[in-house]
Each structure stands twice: as C-alpha cells, then as structure tokens.
Chain A
Amino acid sequence: MRLPRFEYYQPGSLAEAVTMLSQVPGARPVAGGTDLLVNMKHRVEQPAALVSLTRVSELAGVRLEDGATVIGGGVTLKHVQHDEGLKARFPALTQAASVVGSYRHQTMGTLAGNLLQNTRCRFFNQSVEWRSVRALCYKAGGDYCHVMKKEGVCFCTYHGDTAAALLVLDAEVRVEGPDGVRQFPLAQLYSGEGKAPLSLGSAEVLTAVIIPDSSATDGDTAGGSTYVKHALRGAIDFPIVGAAVWRNGDATRVAFTGVDRSPLRATVLEEALAGRALTPAVIEEVAPLAPKGVTITRTTVQPGSFKRELMSALFARAAGSLL
C-alpha cells in the first residue's frame, strides 16, 4: 500500500511551523507519523501537505516549571518510558508509554502524537479498496454507520494508551497556534465525537504536557499510579481496554481507554470511591461500576459484554497493585 502524494515541509521553529500550518492549504502537522501515515495509506486521511515537527526544538525535553513537570510534545514514547524522574513520580505514564505498539512505534512516536491519534473502527481503518465494497461511513465523509444504526453519529473509538494515564495524573496540555498559547485540562482536548475527536484548531500544535506536582507519588504505601492494558498480543496492538489508576491516601482517580469515543475518567466509579480508602473489599465492591456511563460499541471485533468485564477486571488489577 502506497502513500498518496503530498507536499512536505520541515520548519526549524515552532513559530515557523504554526505559520506554515496556517498558510499552506490542507496542511497537517506530523511527528512520528505512526498513526497518520497508516491512515494516509488507507486514504482515510489525505492532507495535501505535511508539516514535520521533528526539527522544532521547542517540543523537546522534559523540564520543571514552578514545580510542575512539563514534557515536550515531541518527546518520544521511548524517552518518556526511560526518564528516571517520570518513572519515579508518574509510573502510570511511563508504564503506558512502554506498552504502546511495538519498539519501533515507541522510538518514532511522540507523546503528543500518541494523545492526538485518531479514533478507530474496524470499518474505517481499512484501505480505499476495502471500503469501496460498502457505503461510505460518517467518518470517511459519507452518511452511514456500519456499527450502529444511529443517524448522524460516528462511534469510532479512541485507543491511545498514554491518555488514560495522563487523565488520572490530572495533566494539562499546552497548545500554540496563530492566536497564541492556551493551556487546558487534557480531558478538554477530546470532543467526545467519533468523527472529529479532537478540539484542536487546524494550525494548532500540542507543544507540551503539564503534570502538576500534586499528582506525583513516591511509591510509598499511601500512593502510586499504574496503567494496565489488555490487548490481543503482548506487543504491537492497540488496547482493547486500558485502565489507569492513581491513588494518594484516600483519593483515587480512574480512567479508561479503548471503550468510547474519547478516553475518559470513570466518574461513577470515582464517586463510589470518594473519601474511602482502597482495600481489597472496596475494590471488589466498586469494580462492577467501572463500565457505568460508557458507550461501548462494536468498533472492534470483541463483544461489548467482554469489554465491560475487562473494565472491571483491569480496574481491580490496577487498583489492587497500588495497595
């Protein structure tokens, strides 16, 4: 399968990148390309131009700003995984980075790219020839859904690993575009729509991920964070379900990926846990609440009942490991 033709730009600074993105018609940013290039081969995304962020130095490095940890959007998943400071303070993130795709996805793929990956569906992530057999779906620009017969709604599902971890770490993202810089909670990056899953402007670049110092844990008995993933195989695959849990004292946060149109905090579960210390009995009691409020559809081959069971099981496993 071959890439369609496109123009390629390689700016040397963030300002230059933003200018190109706002001025070149049909331009899209690309970093590692592990998500976008595959979609381009399938002709489900066909940008006229790609603006490479690989030489934009502002996106590099992990640093501290007023106590908060700031990870450049261009930092590779491999780098995240092996950063000793991140590993000690935010293990959910480094664990999530370590189970993304395969070794090569991790060396090429960036943290921002992982957060910004497109939603997926077994009817959408297919070649143009494959899709030509059936009606064009909403996500591909048509007016049909092969998964749910609900008019006008696309159920394409979000399958990034690191987003779930960063949600429980209360991370924020910083983006820079033609109108300047804005920073907001990670959850707001996701629109909740399958068809257009991100709330970024077309010329905006995700420059950094900011994790507050209050989310750091030091691995003592009262706190910690972790990410567990169930995928088909031990490598390469997207999560069928991924679960992240953060805990500090009696506070617990839980997030899932692979189950809905965006990664999400398990609000019903968190409410049930509010103010309660995690114990094996509590975990067992609340685990069945994990799937509450989530719209699971057959965008992958696994049945919804299985994914709901997995959500409970993975929550219990992740939470149990933090006791």
Chain B
Amino acid sequence: MKVLNVVGQRVPMHDAAAKITGQAQYTDDLVLPGMLFGKLVRSTVAHGRIKSIDVSKAKALPGVKGVITGMDIPDRVYGIVPKAKDEHALAREKVRYIGDEVAAVVAIDQETAEEAARLITVEYEELPAVFDPLDAIKEGAPLVHENTPGNVSAQIHKEFGDLEAGFAASDYVFEDSYYTHAQNHAPMEPHAALASYDALNGDLTLWSGTQIPYFLKRNLSTTLVIPEQNIRVIKPKVGGGFGQKIDMFAKDFCACWFAKELGRPVKFLYDREEVFQSTRQRHPMYLTLKTGVSKEGKIIAQKITAHADGGAYNSTAPLMITLSCFFVMIPYKIENLVYEGYHVYTNKPVGGAMRGHGIPQPRFAIERQIDQIAKRIGVDASEMRLLNAIEAGEPHPAGFIINTCGFADSVREASKAIGWAEKRGKLPFGRGVGIACASFPSGVANMSHLASGCVVQLSSEGRVSVLSGAADIGQGAETVIAQIVAERVGVPMEDVHITAADTGLCPLDAGTFGSGVTVRAGNAALNAANDIRAQLFPVVAEALGCEVDEIEAANRLFWVRDDPDRSVGMRDILRQYQYIDRSLPIVGRGAWVPPADSATTLLTNNGNLSPNYSFMTQAAEVEVDLETGRVNVIKVLTAHDCGQPINPMLVEGQLEGSILGGIGYALYEDSTCIDGQQHNPSFLDYGFPTMMELPEMEGIHIDTDDPIGPFGAKEAGEGTQLAPAPAIVNAIADAIGVDFDRLPVTPDMILAALKKQREEAAGEAR
C-alpha cells in the first residue's frame, strides 16, 4: 500500500487563483512598448489561382507599417508531421479553401490593420472545388494539391489474422455505414501570437498560445530561415487547446516575420470567426464496418473502411489516420481485422488533432454497431462487450503491451451504476440507457521527438524550482508535475515553483498532445526529483543514523520509517549540507522517453504504441421529448481506469469536460459548411452545450497500478472523449427504437424518425 501525501490529493491548480482573479496573463494580455498589430487577408474563394494582389491602397493608408503576400516570404512549407508538410504561411500560387491566408498587414493599431486588410484586393481565377471526400477520390475530381493524385494525402492499410476465414467462420456477418461530422474545439482563448526581435543578437522571441512550443520553434526556424538556437518560444497561459493549438499558424509566422523586418514587437489575434474557419476541426469521417460474429456475440472478424475529410491541408493527417486505425484494436479482442483508412483533401476548413484524434469517429461506428448487432442476434449489449473485452497481459495482434487493464471491470461497474439490468429496454417509450467503451494511449511511444526533460533545483532556503518543457494549456500539467516533485522531495505544494514551456529556459518536451503529458513529463519530473533524493538522502541518513532506504519524507520533514520519532527538518538538513561543504543548490536532472524495443513509424510497422493504456466505459441515460425532438441527457457516468490519479480533482474536471464535449458531439455541435464556407462561426450559431445542458455526472474509479506511469498513473485526458457520444446515441436507440447512424442527432432528425416510425407502424397495422 502506497502512502502518498501530495500525489493522489485534490490539490487546486497552482494558477487557479490567478486565473479566477484575472491576473493570469494570456498571449493577448501581453503588451510590449512600440507594439504593432496585425491582420490577415483571407481567401474568399474555395479554390482558385491567385492572378494578382493589389496592396497599394493598404500600403498608402496612414499607420500601416508593413504588407506582405505569399511571394514576399521564403518558399518553405510547414506542418506538424515532418513528412506531411504542405502549408505556406501565406498562399503563393493557389488558395485551397475559404479562409486560406493570402496576405498580412501590420499597423499602429488594430483598427488601422483591419481597415488596411479590407483595402487589399485579390483577383482569382476560380477553379472547380470539391467539398466531400467521397467526391474528391473520384476519377477526374479537382486536385486540391497538384502533387496528390486522387486527393488522398495519407492512407493506412493494416491486416491481422485472416479476414475472409473469419467471416466464413462467423454465424452472422453485418455491414453498416456511419458518418461523423466536423466539430470545432472552440477553446475559450482565441489563437494569438506576439513576437519580438533583438536585431543586435539576431534573437527572436515568440509568445504564442501553443500546445507544442518545441515543434513550433522548429517550424519557425525552417520557414523563417533562422537557426533554431536564435528562436525562443514562450507559452503564456493558454485558455484551452483540445488539439487545435498544436499546429503552427499564419499568425505565428507573420508576427515573427514582421517583428524581424520592422524591429518592433508585433501581435496577431484571431477573431472567433477565424478560429472556426481557419484553424482546425475534428475530421468528418465516412465509415463502413463489416463485422462477423458468433451467435453468442463474439466478434470473429471485422473490416473497417474510413474516409476522413481532411480539408485543404494535412496538419496531422498521417498520425490521425494511424491512431484511427490502431485504436479499433482495443479495448476489444478482434483476431481477424482489416482497417483501411484514407485522409482526403477537400476545399474546406482543415482537419486536425482534436481530443481523441481520429478515434471518436470509429468508436462511434463500432459502439453503435455492437448495439445494433446485439439487438439483431438477441444478445445483451453489455454482455457482448464483456465477451469481447481485452485483458491485461494477453498478446495483442499489433504488439501493444498491456500491463494493466481495468476494462472488463469498467463495463460491469458502469452497467451496474446506470441500472442496466432494471432499465435497458424496460423504461417507458422516450427514455433509455446506453453504454459505450474506449481505450486511449498515454502518449504515443515509438515515434520520434518524444522525450521529456526536467530540472529540479533545491535552494539553500528549501525552495524547489522546477523547469519543465510540458505545456499546460489549462488542463493542469504544471500542477501535476509540481505534485510529483513535491511528493518525491518531501515538501508541501507551496514550496514548489514551476517554470514551464519556455524553450529558452526549459528542457525539451514533446508538448501537449496524445494525452502523454502526465506519463512522459511526469516521469521526467519523477526522475529529476529522484536525482535530488540521491544527492540529499545520504546526508539525511547520516543525520538520522539510518540507511538511505529507511528514510521517509513529507512536509519538509525526514524520519526513519520504523521509528518516526527520529526525524530532522529540511532546514536543518540543508544547513548540514552546507556545513559539510557540498555545493548548493542541489540540482536534479531527469529525462524520460517511453520504452520501445525499436523505433517504428506505425504507418508501416507494428509495435507497442504507448507506454500504457487507459480504459473506460461510459453510460448515459436520456429522455427524448417526443413532441419537440429535444434530447435531455439526464445522467452520464464514467467507469474509468486511469491508473493512480495524480490529482483526482483534475481527473474529475477532465471527465466532466468530456461529458459536455460528448453531449456537444452527439447532439449540438456541427461545424457546418455551405459551398465550402464555414457557416456558423460564432458561439451563438455553433451552439455548443452550456451548463443548462449539463447532466448529473458520476465518476467510478477502477483501481489499477501501472508499472510504467509515475506513481502508477495513466492518461486521463483525451480517452474520456471517445465514448460519451455513442453512449448517448445508444441510449436514444433504447429510448425510441431508432438507430441513428450519423452525428449529430438533432431534434429535427428525431421528429422525422418518429414520424417515419409511426407511418411504418400504421402501414403494418393495415
């Protein structure tokens, strides 16, 4: 039994008070002397060749300090995945979607910059555009990028076992198709960048609302043609990212470019409309599932075909389609499996990483189809999930190493807590329950650049300073890392001060994506804190007259485990440390990279994708208003194996956020396009759920003790976003007997389905 003092405690976020009192500084709060303001000019056509750009009126406007177009900057492409780089900060020959950047201006104030932007006229030769991935792959479809025939910019084909033999051995084979729509991350803080240039030293500093400072630095270096060592990226407070802030954007490049050219600080801040239209969104996906099962409901073979609508650029395309593929192999055991996935360019807003990253789409399809199959063959949908549940230690077809797995327990606990036995199929018409399941990696293990580093300094006064590269985007990464360090060094939280995500000061980190921060950066912090112990504890042992491994530490006190009266305080120890002439401060260093037998690219090789895996079952109860079609989500609960939570309160925050996000994905949020133009680019029209739509929520913790995560922790961030939507749609099916196969399920769809149901019933009665 582990005794923990800081880890595992409900510690408030270390910056919560600063955020609540408005003192926390986000990028747009930062003001530098002489600062200029920027504005981007965006394409008004979905697909077109740029014939000419007239910037003369903008340049002549008093207060304008600079205007650039794509032809004024180096011809260098960028992108988050090195081999899939396809974006220019400003378009050169061609624009590929409405909202694509074509020019940038800076001026002495925001109003002047906006006025100047409106004075720039662009003449286009309009080209035929394509708005649906299934059209884009057809012979003769317009090419979004000339170098990508068929518009397929990333694809994956994985085969395990013998699919055809599996189908032949199945009692039933079902084929069903599904569609999932575009969802916007809608972070509270719009995207912003502020750059400053020191011409004497050639040093560029960028403050940016980013999730991955180190990747941003690299992309800036290659596109600005400035050595990486001359670029410092600082992440101020970030008001939410959800994956939308992992990419470099035009605002980052243009702020840096103008700062360097003009020698004055430059700020770019996106409007909410720009966030919707010109950053990233969850990929819409067409999915077809062919599944063979035994009469008991054992899944014997499954083939999944997926076409993702990538929009105009790649962003994370290869990674997204890979994750989409690998996470259909878990949490169910499917021995004969084929996944075929395509990332397809269209002339639409760009798809990118979004909480769950390529996985919520197939999870919706799989979890829906399990319910449909269970109904067709007459088995219980919860039992069917248990029958197919993966277990710890089993060999995995793709080579995942699953050390701990609370999945089957999560199915049992969630079913019990939602009242499955009493309610499923037994509630009055209009009311129903549903469950859905998922698993997620704690970061991606065997791809490049995925090390985290940490430096911990213990000063002569006992102040613990932590340098971490981890990017806290509001989820509480800095708090979690500080808790790990406090626990290991033996001090309370208030003694720990963390500086993070400043590439000029902090060690390398992969950044915030793939739900890897707690395990990766947390282990780096644990190693650095252990390094402190290695230096400090011999002195403690000498003072206490015991062995190093007998020492317990907490709350600035050290004592002998079996004789707690023999103790000494941190202050005394640090004084003794000085008296024996050891040098202070004590500095601990740590780094961590997920263990992997061999580095693979996953697209071509298999392997253990992640250091560990979270598992969960989410259950929903809904009530459908049969007259208006409105769905009231009454309750959502999560039975969750995230290992040892470092901070249970922050895990609850993730669970609750995922439920609201899942309700949005299932019922409300639809980032629609009309003729390629994003149609609802405001919080009013996009209409994500509010506190008014919040259901009763409950979290059930499934205990596991993972050997790899720090203190046994696994991810608790993105995974919980996978199952709420299918759980809700499964509950709707239980409530009204309608099997929706596309998202979101809106009141008009429900009324239309009920009407059809009544007409069919009347037809049968006749």
Which residues of A are in contact with B by a Cβ distance under 8 Å?
1-2, 122, 125-130, 132-134, 230, 232-237, 301-303, 305-306, 309-310, 313-314, 316-317
Contact = CB atoms under 8 A, between A and B. Distances in A.
Interface in B255-277: 271-273
A107 to B, nearest CB: 17
A131 to B, nearest CB: 10
A301 B42 contact: no
B760 interface: no
A237 B627 contact: no
Contacts of A303: 748
B627 A233 contact: no
Contacts of B118: 128
A305 B271 CA distance: 35
Nearest to B628: A230
Given A122-B679, A302-B748, A313-B627, A2 B685 contact: no
Interface string B740-753: 00000001100110
A98 B747 CA distance: 23
Interface stretch (B506-514, B539-547, B687-695, B714-722): B687-695
Nearest to A304: B748
Contacts of A232: 668, 687
Nearest to A230: B628
A233 B689 contact: yes
Given A1-B271, A130-B273, A233 B692 contact: yes
B162 interface: no
B684 A317 contact: no
Contacts of A134: 675, 677
Interface in B408-440: none
Contacts of B628: 230, 310, 313-314
Nearest to A126: B681
B110 interface: yes
8 contacts: A2-B110, A2-B114, A126-B681, A127-B681, A130-B677, A233-B687, A306-B752, A310-B628
Nearest to B271: A1
Count class of interface residues, chain B: 20 to 34
A306 B668 contact: no
B672 interface: yes
B465 interface: no
A279 B746 CA distance: 31
From DSSP, what is the main secondary structure of chain A's interface residues? Answer: loop
Contacts of A236: 684, 690
Interface in B474-525: none
Given A1-B272, A2-B111, A316-B627, A235 B751 contact: no
A234 B627 contact: no
Nearest to A43: B118
Nearest to A316: B627
Nearest to B273: A127
B119 to A, nearest CB: 13
B49 interface: no
Given A1-B271, A122-B679, A235-B690, 18 more contacts: A122-B685, A125-B685, A127-B681, A130-B273, A132-B44, A134-B675, A230-B628, A230-B747, A232-B668, A233-B692, A237-B687, A301-B680, A305-B748, A306-B747, A306-B752, A309-B755, A310-B628, A317-B627
Nearest to B44: A133
Contacts of B630: 230
Contact of A234 (B675, B685, B693): B693
B359 interface: no
Nearest to B685: A122
A210 B142 CA distance: 62
Contacts of A128: 118
Interface in B669-704: 672, 675, 677, 679-681, 684-685, 687, 689-690, 692-693
Nearest to B98: A133
- Pairs A-B, 3 closest by C-beta atoms: A234-B692, A306-B748, A313-B627
B687 A306 contact: no
Contacts of A309: 751, 755
Interface in B78-132: 98, 110-111, 114, 118
B691 to A, nearest CB: 8
A313 B751 CA distance: 11
A105 to B, nearest CB: 11
Given A1-B271, A1-B273, A133-B677, A237 B684 contact: yes
A309 B110 CA distance: 47
A95 B378 CA distance: 48
A132 to B, nearest CB: 6
B692 A130 contact: no
A129 B752 contact: no
Interface string B30-68: 000000000000101100000000000000000000000
A233 B693 contact: yes
A233 B677 CA distance: 24
A235 B684 CA distance: 10
A237 B682 CA distance: 12
A233 B272 contact: no
Nearest to B679: A122
Contacts of B677: 130, 133-134
A235 B748 CA distance: 19
B434 to A, nearest CB: 22
A134 B46 CA distance: 11
Contacts of A313: 627-628
Contacts of A129: 42, 273
Nearest to B118: A128
Nearest to A125: B685
A302 B685 CA distance: 12
B624 to A, nearest CB: 13
B265 to A, nearest CB: 21
B426 to A, nearest CB: 27
A147 B69 CA distance: 35
Contacts of B681: 126-127, 130
Contacts of A130: 273, 677, 681
A27 B629 CA distance: 44
Q: Which of B627, B630, B677, B752 has the most CB of A within 10 A?
A: B627
A127 B273 CA distance: 8
Nearest to B277: A130
B42 A233 contact: no
A233 B669 CA distance: 11
B692 A306 contact: no
A301 B671 CA distance: 12
Contacts of A127: 271, 273, 681
Contacts of B747: 230, 306
Nearest to B630: A230
A165 B755 CA distance: 30
B712 to A, nearest CB: 40
Contacts of B111: 2
A130 B692 CA distance: 30
B549 to A, nearest CB: 58
A233 B690 contact: yes
Interface in B146-178: none
Nearest to A5: B111
Nearest to B274: A129
Nearest to A133: B44
Q: Which of B45, B628, B680, B693 has the most CB of A within 10 A?
A: B628
A148 to B, nearest CB: 15
A184 to B, nearest CB: 32
A306 B751 contact: yes
Contact of A235 (B98, B110, B692): B692
A269 B272 CA distance: 43
A305 B42 CA distance: 36
Interface string B658-673: 0000000000100010
Contacts of A230: 628, 630, 747
Contacts of B680: 122, 301
A307 B601 CA distance: 51
B735 to A, nearest CB: 18
